C-alpha cells in the first residue's frame, strides 16, 4: 500500500462520500483532489474509463474506479472489517448497498421531475423503499445491523444527507411514521466520518445545483426564496 491514498472527488457526489466515510472510519490518511466533471482533465479520462468519480489513486499510475470495488478494497486491506464475517450476512449487506444506489437513482428522478405529478410520484416511490427499510433495520440500532457501523451505513449516509437539504423547502413526508429509519438517519448524521465527508458549504452547493435543474424542485426552491424575501421585507 502507498503511504497516502488520494481520493479523486466531486463536491456533491454521494459515491465519493461513501469512500471518504470508509477511509475515515478506518483512520486512513488520504488527500482529496476535486474534479470539474464538466471539464475533465485528460489524465482523469484515462484513469476513469466511465468518466465518473470516485477514483482512488494508489501509487504511480494505479487507480481504482467505481465506489463499490473501492470500498471493498479498503475494507479488505485497511483496519477492522466493516462487512460482516458471515457470508450470508455479507451478501445481504452488499444487496442493501445496491438498494442504496437505487434510492440515489430515485432521488435523481425526484429532483429532475418537470412537474408536480412526476415529483410526487417519485417521492412516493422513495417512501416505499424507506418503508421496506423500516422492517429491514436491526431494531436495536443505532446502525443498519445493530451496534456496529458497516458499509451499508456508509452507503446510506449520503442518501439521508440529500433530505437534510430537501427538508428546508419541501414537505415530502418521506420519513413520517418511520421511527427506525428516522433514528438511523439521526445516528448517521451525528457520526464524525459522515459529517467530515463533505465540505461545510455542501448545503449551499446542492441548493445551487437544484436551482439550475429547471425542475419542479427548482420551482419549490424559488417559491421558498420568495417567501423568505417577503418575510425579510416585513
Domain boundaries, given as residue ranges, for the chain: 5-77, 87-195
User: What's the confidence (pLDDT) of residue 97?
Assistant: 98
* 189 pLDDT above the threshold of 70: yes
The backbone torsions φ and ψ at residue 65, rounded to the nearest 5 degrees and listed phi first, read: -125, 160
Across the range 53-62, mean pLDDT stands at 93
CATH fold for the domain made of 5-77? Glutaredoxin (3.40.30)
Across the range 8-13, mean pLDDT stands at 98
Can you name the residues that pair with 33 across neighbouring β-strands? 8
Q: Which DSSP helix (H) or strand (E) runs through 143?
A: none
Instruction: Please tell me the distance from the alpha carbon of residue 213 to that of residue 202, in angstroms, as a whole number.
Output: 17
Instruction: Please tell me the distance from the alpha carbon of residue 52 to that of residue 72, in angstroms, as a whole number.
Output: 18
Residue with the larger pLDDT of the pair 92 and 232: 92
Q: Are 183 and 190 in contact (CB under 8 A)?
A: no
Task: Calculate the alpha carbon distances from 59 to 1, 5, 6, 71, 192 in Å.
Answer: 8, 8, 9, 17, 28
* 103, burial (CB in 10 Å: exposed 0-12, middle 13-18, buried 19+): buried
Share the mean pLDDT of the chain: 96
Cis before residue 128, ω within 30 degrees of 0? no
The helix/strand/coil state of 55 is strand
User: What's the confidence (pLDDT) of residue 107?
Assistant: 98
Residue with the larger pLDDT of the pair 90 and 228: 90
Across the range 11-37, mean pLDDT stands at 97
Across the range 24-31, mean pLDDT stands at 96
Residue with the larger pLDDT of the pair 6 and 2: 6
74-87 pLDDT, tens digit per residue, is: 999 999 999 999 99
Q: What is the pTM of this model?
A: 0.95
User: What's the confidence (pLDDT) of residue 231?
Assistant: 82
Instruction: Please tell me the distance from the alpha carbon of residue 204 to that of residue 233, in angstroms, as a whole number.
Output: 22
User: What's the confidence (pLDDT) of residue 227?
Assistant: 86
Please name the CATH architecture into which domain 87-195 falls.
Up-down Bundle (1.20)
User: What's the confidence (pLDDT) of residue 171?
Assistant: 86
* 2 pLDDT above the threshold of 70: no
Across the range 162-180, mean pLDDT stands at 95
User: What's the confidence (pLDDT) of residue 228?
Assistant: 84
Can you name the residues that pair with 120 across neighbouring β-strands? none
| DSSP output for 28-39 | --EEEEE--TTS
Instruction: Please tell me the distance from the alpha carbon of residue 229 to that of residue 46, in angstroms, as a whole number.
Output: 47
Across the range 60-68, mean pLDDT stands at 93
User: What's the confidence (pLDDT) of residue 14?
Assistant: 98
Q: Which residues of 43-82 are buried (b: 16+ CB within 10 A; e: fewer)?
A: ebeebbeeebbbbbbeeeeebbbbbbebbbebbeebeeeb
Q: Which residues of 20-42 are buried (b: 16+ CB within 10 A; e: fewer)?
A: bbbbbbbebeeeeeebeeeeeee
Amino acid at each position: 500500500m502507498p503511504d497516502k491514498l488520494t481520493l479523486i472527488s466531486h463536491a456533491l457526489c454521494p459515491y465519493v462520500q461513501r469512500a471518504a466515510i470508509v477511509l475515515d472510519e478506518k483512520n486512513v490518511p488520504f488527500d482529496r483532489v476535486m474534479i470539474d466533471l464538466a471539464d475533465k482533465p485528460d489524465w482523469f479520462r484515462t484513469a476513469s474509463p466511465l468518466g465518473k468519480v470516485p477514483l482512488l489513486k494508489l501509487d504511480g499510475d494505479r487507480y481504482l474506479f467505481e465506489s463499490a470495488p473501492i470500498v471493498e478494497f479498503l475494507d479488505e486491506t485497511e483496519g477492522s472489517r466493516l462487512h460482516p464475517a458471515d457470508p450470508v450476512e455479507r451478501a445481504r449487506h452488499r444487496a442493501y448497498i445496491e438498494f442504496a444506489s437505487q434510492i440515489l437513482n430515485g432521488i435523481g428522478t425526484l429532483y429532475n421531475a418537470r412537474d408536480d405529478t412526476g415529483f410526487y410520484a417519485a417521492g412516493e416511490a422513495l417512501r416505499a423503499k424507506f418503508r421496506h427499510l423500516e422492517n429491514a433495520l436491526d431494531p436495536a440500532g443505532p446502525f443498519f445491523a445493530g451496534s456496529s457501523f458497516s458499509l451499508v451505513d456508509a452507503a446510506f449516509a449520503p442518501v439521508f444527507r440529500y433530505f437534510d437539504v430537501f427538508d428546508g423547502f419541501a414537505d415530502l413526508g418521506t420519513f413520517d411514521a418511520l421511527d427506525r429509519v428516522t433514528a438511523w438517519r439521526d445516528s448517521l448524521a451525528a457520526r464524525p466520518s459522515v459529517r467530515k465527508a463533505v465540505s461545510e458549504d455542501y448545503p449551499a452547493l446542492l441548493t445551487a445545483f437544484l436551482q439550475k435543474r429547471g425542475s419542479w424542485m427548482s420551482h419549490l426552491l424559488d417559491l421558498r426564496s420568495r417567501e423568505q424575501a417577503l418575510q425579510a421585507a416585513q
